[in-house]
Structure 1
Amino acid sequence: METPSEKTPRVSAEKMRRSPDEQDVEAGSSKTGLDRTLQSRHLQFIAIGGTIGTGLFLGTGGALSKAGPVSLLIAFIFIGSVVYSVMSALGEMAAYIPVTGAFTAYASRFVDPTLGFAMGWTYWFSWSLTFALELTAAGLIIHFWDENLSVGIWIAVFWAVFTALNYLPVKWFGEVEMWLSSIKVVTIVGFIIFSICVNAGVGDQGYIGFKYWENPGAFAEYLVSGATGKFVGFWAVLITAGFSFQGSELVGIAAGETEDPRKSIPSAIRWTFWGIFSLFVATVFFLGINIPYTNDDLLSESQDASASPLVIVAKLAGVPVLPHIINAVLLSAVLTAANSNVYSSSRILVALADSGHAPKFLKRTNRIGTPIYSVGICSLVGFLAFLNLSEGGTVVFDWLLNIVAVAGFISWALINLCHLRFMRALAHRGIKRSALPYAAPLQPYLSYFGLFFNVLIVLTSGFTVFMEWSTSDFFASYVSVILFVVMFVGHKLVCRTKIVPLAEVDLVHGCIDS
């Protein structure tokens, strides 16, 4: 093992070669002018705010009807293991090199500038577009109480509110996000306790136990019959499970604005993953034992509380007031996610500008450290929400929604790839991983595991199209893959970039070292 005394001369020499701007990272500010004022708890709740949303509160209903309770539970646990590989890999890199945009910058520095370009812009478009989706969802959720007001009114109101919030000092933003996200956490914990009571016999159904795992069954057949149909049901809901977990990696996006990243980032990575994983798996488990997967309400296409499986549990138990509470929580979940969307997408733009993949003016900040132009551009994308008000606009919007669903898996795969390259670069320089602020477990095997399954899920995300062919559905399923490939090939042809040699991988810029 390398001792501190053996490591000091090399690190000191590297520091002496850094420019003053690069050394600013250690002084408490980032090279891009962003302030390092976020703490570990802020990182955790920014990620929780971006993760716990419509995927869990609404998407799990349709997934339960497709796959059945045990398949859905296994899907969430399996995707959780994939997310763990991504989070631990990201934690190791971000704790050592905490730069704004984190993994979008790592792709350019560790692998290939073209990969960083394609990954960054795909990820940016995904999260900025999600802002528009969440604004629309907020308006539809309010329709649960009053259908007379136009969705457009709420889109405009919430757009103004969250644009203003993202122009506040980042520490204030972190505090607002923390308290809003806490509502979701408390609600899920409350729902789990409520579900235990319902299952034990408190409600119109009496004691339930595991009877729904016996009738109609633990596994549902989807598209085809028999064991094949049960496997198809399981694989079909992996995208839903993955979409629910997307946002966990936002801990890395905020790395460039983190106070004491050496300690804050590893702590935030651990608490964020295990917190989200525990809440998700517990929620899915109790939904599966309290609702038969044949329940017709699970197939509802509504986007308010009436479509939530949490509400279906209350409805079956005979508790009429809960739908209103769930709708209020669902509204806060969507709004918190919208707040995170503007933050994360604006920091990705900053990272792209810092890497030379976007205009330099996008890095400019005001006196309180807010990237004013990046926030403004990302907020403007939210106006796409008004597409839903026009005739035929929902068709375009559904296509755009598919970009969001699969783009997360592409980013996860590339985080694992960047980590594998990062480890090779460390070994080439003779730097022991044990000397890093955080050493990810089970490496490199865990990153290979995550890379393989993320790529596999991306390639098979629209596999049902090949069972019942539809040209429109094919392009809708793979539009994000097509977008990524087009940007990768286009940038490669124009810029003629090459894979970065191991000897030239930049492990200095933004590095936190003692």
Structure 2
Amino acid sequence: MDHVSEKTDLHTDSDLEKQVTPQEPQLQRKLKSRHLQFVAIGGTVGTGVFIASGTSIATAGPAGALLAYAFVGTLVYSVMLSLSEMSTYLPISGAFTRYAARFVDPSLGFSMGWIYYFSWSITYALELTAAGLVIQWWNSSLSIGIFITIFWVPLTLINLLPVDFFGEFELWFSSIKVIALLGFMIFAICINAGAGDQGYIGFEYWKNPGAFAPYLTDGAKAKFVGFWAVLIQAGFAYQGTELVAIGAGESSNPKKTMPAAIRKTFWSIFLLFIFTIFFIGILVPYDNESLLIGGTNAGSSPLVIAAQLAGVKVLPDIINAVLLTVVLSAAASNVYSGSRVLVGLAEENCAPRFFARTSKKGVPYYAIALTSGFGLLAYMNLSDNGGEVFNWFLNIISVAGFIAWACTCICHLRFMSALKAQNISRDNLPFKSWGGAILAWYGFTFCSIITITQGFTAFVPWVTEDFFIAYISLILFAVLYVGHKLVTGSKFIKPEEADLETDKFQEVESENWEESPRSRWKKALNYVF
């Protein structure tokens, strides 16, 4: 008996020893819904709406631009619902780039993940350059290289802080741009009502020069071409809305925080964009020459042009200061997003495994170091030849968002097929997309069409260089996919074999909890909005 007892005790000690063996540090679930929301807002609401929106109105007119942004918004909505359903069930780092490897094809996960990673990493270099150009508004004699260095160091260090500290930083920094846009809307209402030098405006600019601007051709066809040309610009502006799902692996309670964060993020960004485009369109005529100047500082902002037309003198400096916070907030979000995508790639064996390593506080320092290193590409702008190469790099960014959105919809379709094949009811999911397969097909179809047709100006007339500039993202995506397929010989994932269990989030809820009528009404409204 003593022998048996001794063996049992030894066995128990061995088990205990295994249990107390420390696990390798990993990402920590410290981000709350508000953090996820503002990280996405930080990466999305940037120069696209503060500056590039003017080009959209000049190309398609106020009504054409408004319709384009609204239409792309519906595509983003379909993508966000797909993301919400998958990320609440499997809240993992890297999010949708890993879903592709799990539900569709490892080669798709590889190519989608890397093109998306390059997109955000190179965008970091773009934002650092933009920060330098914003500063040059006040002193053009200073080299942007000075400010690339000045901003690169603290933005990198901020990303090396524990994720909850970073989340708070993004929340407050991103709030500045939201407040600025809300302030502009109030300003626009006052100016349109007659508070400025122009007197009462109303919809005068929708009548003269018109609601739609002709583009490349004549007649009704020219209005449609202008609308279609702005779709890709609107897509660039919305790119980043999906970043809310990148933080799924660090969400404190994905079942509750992810649907709320995704829903609030979409509607916040959508309404900010739609109202900003609308108010710019009623304050600035689309044939205003200043809309076509281009640039990165306040002089190119349609918000400033609207103020100048109204006779307000102090706004340019204020807008430029806001632009600086806009750019820096976006830059910090770029590093966070890129590093988490790289962690996801490493965990799917699509990148060296050491990129998944984290500190004891859950900070993926290797992934952050590489992503921050891409920011140093901004120094290429200091030489003429380097600037040309840098512009080619930037074109990788251009279509990456639409590629990611189309692939996300494919992932959702395959996810639903896997659930059906494995007899798991969608009714039992933490969150269920009301649009289901129809909405996913809608998003995939139009994202694919826009991706393929976005470079149509290279064909009229044919310009070889413009063709490659427009389609370099798509070409790189295809090369990565085919290359990975040839090297690894990966096969498409069968629905019945898709991994729906690993990393599945488990939450224990009280069995005695009863939902109140008020909660049910609130839940019903949240389900719709």
Q: Fold conserved (TM > 0.5)?
A: yes
Instruction: Tell me by how many angstroms 1:442 deviates.
Output: 1.5
What is the alpha-carbon distance in structure 2 between the residues aligned to residue 281 and residue 91 of structure 1?
Answer: 23
CA contact (8 A) 1:30 1:36 kept: no
The DSSP-based 3-state class of the residue aligned with 1:392 is helix
CA contact (8 A) 1:30 1:99 kept: no
- Correspondence for 1:156: 149
Matched, 1:391 2:354: no
- Correspondence for 1:9: none
CA contact (8 A) 2:54 2:292 kept: yes
Larger Rg: 2
The DSSP-based 3-state class of the residue aligned with 1:256 is helix
- Correspondence for 2:39: 46
- Correspondence for 1:239: 232
Instruction: Tell me by how many angstroms 1:148 deviates.
Output: 2.1
1:409 to 402, 414, 429: 402
1:491 to 484, 503, 514: 484
What is the alpha-carbon distance in structure 1 between the residues aligned to residue 253 and residue 471 of structure 2?
Answer: 40
What is the alpha-carbon distance in structure 2 between the residues aligned to residue 499 and residue 332 of structure 1?
Answer: 44
Instruction: Tell me by how many angstroms 1:31 deviates.
Output: 8.5
What is the alpha-carbon distance in structure 2 between the residues aligned to residue 443 and residue 513 of structure 1?
Answer: 23
Deviations 1:89-128 (A, max 9, x none): 0011001100001001100000000000000000000000
Instruction: Tell me by how many angstroms 1:420 deviates.
Output: 0.4
- Correspondence for 2:128: 135
What is the alpha-carbon distance in structure 1 between the residues aligned to residue 264 and residue 400 of structure 2?
Answer: 24
Matched, 1:453 2:470: no
Instruction: Tell me by how many angstroms 1:63 deviates.
Output: 1.2
What is the alpha-carbon distance in structure 1 between the residues aligned to residue 392 and residue 57 of structure 2?
Answer: 23
What is the alpha-carbon distance in structure 2 between the residues aligned to residue 84 and residue 441 of structure 1?
Answer: 11
- Correspondence for 1:277: 270
Instruction: Tell me by how many angstroms 1:30 deviates.
Output: 11
Deviations 1:383-431 (A, max 9, x none): 1000100122221122111111100000000000000000111111111
What is the alpha-carbon distance in structure 2 between the residues aligned to residue 32 and residue 126 of structure 1?
Answer: 28
The DSSP-based 3-state class of the residue aligned with 1:352 is helix
Matched, 1:179 2:172: yes
Unaligned runs of 5+ in 1: 1-22, 24-28
Instruction: Tell me by how many angstroms 1:440 deviates.
Output: 0.8
Matched, 1:69 2:39: no
Instruction: Tell me by how many angstroms 1:502 deviates.
Output: 1.1
The DSSP-based 3-state class of the residue aligned with 2:83 is helix
Matched, 1:340 2:338: no
2:303 to 306, 310, 316: 310
- Correspondence for 1:428: 421
Matched, 1:81 2:113: no
Matched, 1:217 2:246: no
The DSSP-based 3-state class of the residue aligned with 2:212 is coil
How does the TM-score come out when normalised to structure 2? 0.91
Return closer, same or farther for 1:31/1:292 CA change in 2, 3 Å cut-off. Answer: farther
Return closer, same or farther for 1:102/1:31 CA change in 2, 3 Å cut-off. Answer: farther
What is the alpha-carbon distance in structure 2 between the residues aligned to residue 423 and residue 264 of structure 1?
Answer: 22
- Correspondence for 1:145: 138
Matched, 1:323 2:316: yes
What amino acid sits opposite 2:365 in the alignment? I
What amino acid sits opposite 2:65 in the alignment? L
Deviations 1:54-101 (A, max 9, x none): 111111111111110000000000000000000010011001100001
How does the TM-score come out when normalised to structure 1? 0.93
- Correspondence for 1:442: 435
What is the alpha-carbon distance in structure 1 between the residues aligned to residue 506 and residue 412 of structure 2?
Answer: 19
Return closer, same or farther for 1:372/1:286 CA change in 2, 3 Å cut-off. Answer: same
CA contact (8 A) 1:32 1:354 kept: no
What is the alpha-carbon distance in structure 2 between the residues aligned to residue 273 and residue 432 of structure 1?
Answer: 26
Instruction: Tell me by how many angstroms 1:240 deviates.
Output: 0.8
Deviations 1:125-171 (A, max 9, x none): 00000000000000001111111221000000111011000100000
CA contact (8 A) 1:30 1:256 kept: no
What is the alpha-carbon distance in structure 2 between the residues aligned to residue 452 and residue 32 of structure 1?
Answer: 41
Deviations 1:270-325 (A, max 9, x none): 10001110110000001111110000000112210000001011000011111111
Deviations 1:430-474 (A, max 9, x none): 111111111111111100000000000000010111112211110
What amino acid sits opposite 2:133 in the alignment? L
